[in-house]
Amino acid sequence: MSASYVGKVKTVGESMAHSVTSANAFKIFMDEPEELGGTNGAPNPLDFILAAHGGCLNFMTFFIANEMGIPVDGTEINITGKLDPSKFSGADMSVRAGYQEIAIGIEVKSSASADQIAQLLAAVEARCPVSDNITNATPVTISMTAV
């Protein structure tokens, strides 16, 4: 593995609800539900946070299980994010704008013992980069210019 990774994406807004993000050679389409001005034609940005978390947990489960010699034949990861939309809608600035709670269940297809699965879970929780970004404050700098 390389010593460092720099993620870089570009998002172009086509309207308030529709955007297209370029990530490497891939296009990611985002939309909002109709009640938020969209057409419900693609997942919304908050869904992508949960999807990214699930994808990272899947990768880390297989990756770390391989390191630990734990057989894994598959995973099913169910994630639920609870959000109070009051802040982003401007109704109540005292609540968080993002998810207030995220609950994750990981089912692992494996013949491993309960103790091995517990050790695997602890390592996955400690090493998943997306979990780390969601759990810990990451410095973010945002600038805006008129063009």
pLDDT attached to residue 92:
92
Q: What is the pLDDT of residues 35-53, one digit of tens each?
A: 888 999 999 999 999 999 9
Local confidence band at 87 (pLDDT 50, 70, 90 cut-offs): very high
Query: What one-character-per-residue DSSP string does 118-139 give?
Result: HHHHHHHHHH-HHHHHHHS---
Q: Which H helix or E strand runs over 62?
A: helix 45-68
Share of the chain above pLDDT 90, in %: 93
- The mean pLDDT value of the chain amounts to 95
DSSP per-residue codes, 64-94: HHHHHT----EEEEEEEEE--TTTTTTS-TT
Q: What is the pLDDT of residue 3?
A: 81
- Is pLDDT above 80 for 2? no
Predicted confidence at residue 146, as pLDDT, reads: 96
* pTM of the complete model: 0.92
Helix (H) or strand (E) holding 13: strand 9-13
Q: What is the dihedral of CA 53, 58, 63, 68, to 10 degrees?
A: 110
Tell me the CATH class for 44-135.
Answer: alpha beta
* Phi, psi for residue 62 in degrees, rounded to 5: -65, -45
